Structure 1
Amino acid sequence: MPTSEDLLQARPAPVQEPVPSADTAPDAPTSPNLELIRAAYQAFHRRDAEALLDVLAPDVRWVHPDGMSAYDLGGTKHGHAGVRSFLSQVPTVLGGMRLEPQEFVEAGDRVVVFGVRNVTSVRGRTERLKFVHSWTLRDGKATVMEDIFDTVLFHQLIES
């Protein structure tokens, strides 16, 4: 069975550099919460599962649309073990994925990220799919990560 490191080592989709935005510029104002969430995306980009888990609270809730349950990728996973389980399942249905966060919006203990992901099916077809990630933070750790996206498009890609 693939491990969480397998997902992070999976063949990546062709990558385009992220679209610059005002809040991703080097001199943009920042906060501890924004820095934490940026560190999560950097860990994804480096395929570093341990660095990703370091950003997450031990009791994190990792939430994906129920519409992905057919691939064992839907619903809520709990804790680091749940995140590892989720990450180990992804390479069984995808050939690769690269996240491109494009806009970060912070409000109190929440950071919402708008972006696109380059997703490659196991058969080699790549698509750019939009996502919204809603992160909730407490005491310097992410306690909730909710992934919001069009599950119909994702299903079509997986089945292609």
Structure 2
Amino acid sequence: MERIATEISGGCQCGAVRYHATAVLDTSHICHCRMCQKASGNFFAALIGVPRDALCWTRGAASTFNSSDKVERGFCRDCGTPLYYDYRESRHLSVTTGSLDEPARFPPKVQFGTEGRMSWFDTLPRLREEGTTEETMAEIVESIRTSNHQHPDHDTDAWPE
């Protein structure tokens, strides 16, 4: 695994937990296994490896759940955001790509646990697409936007502001 020197930051939805890293591993991936599905509450988990010596928690601390005897999963106890997967015998842990401030920087390079992949997964590109700012949703979108409690995708000195 190649270590890539780069600056990344991320955190949970409510802003109670934030992290920063100075390197990532060339391991951006998604995992379809049932354990990752349940841990992420989704069809797959998207993860990227971060060397332990490159990661620091800049606000709060993650709560943990041992999903097996060898794996710990970190999440925000306030809002429930999944933050990391930690196979304790590894020299790195994997942060959830969705918790990064810039998740688009790390597209997945491999899929694991494909035996658990949803059989209809390949049909997603053919589904009808709708944004969340269409005229038909303007009133709903505006009410959500004006009452939004989500932390912004960047570090803040304090939160809530």
TM tier, smaller: under 0.3
TM-score, normalised with respect to structure 1: 0.25
Larger Rg: 2
TM-score, normalised with respect to structure 2: 0.25
Which protein is richer in helix relative to its size? 1
